[in-house]
Amino acid sequence: MEEKIFYSNLSNRIDEGPIELIPAAKVIEKEDTENPFAHLSDEELFD
């Protein structure tokens, strides 16, 4: 049932088309935010 809902919503979004295109530069700018988990080791993250 969930799969049908997912694909129905996906189909509706495809039919609607893009509402607003976001330039890649804006996406890259947002990636520059500080990662609050960067200082943690793999052991701490994946305990």
pLDDT of residue 32: 57
Distance, in Å, from the CA atom of 36 to the CA atom of 8, rounded to the nearest integer, reads 36
Question: How is the chain split into domains, by residue range?
Answer: 22-47
- Give the HSE-up count for residue 32: Cα atoms under 13 Å, Cβ half-sphere: 5
Give the span between the Cα atoms of 3 and 10, in whole angstroms: 10
Per-residue confidence (pLDDT) for residue 30, from 0 to 100: 61
User: Do 37 and 45 contact (CB within 8 A), yes or no?
Assistant: yes
pLDDT tens track for 2-47: 899 999 988 888 888 777 877 888 777 665 567 888 888 988 888 7
Q: What is the pLDDT of residue 25?
A: 80
DSSP string across 34-47:
--TTTTS-HHHHT-
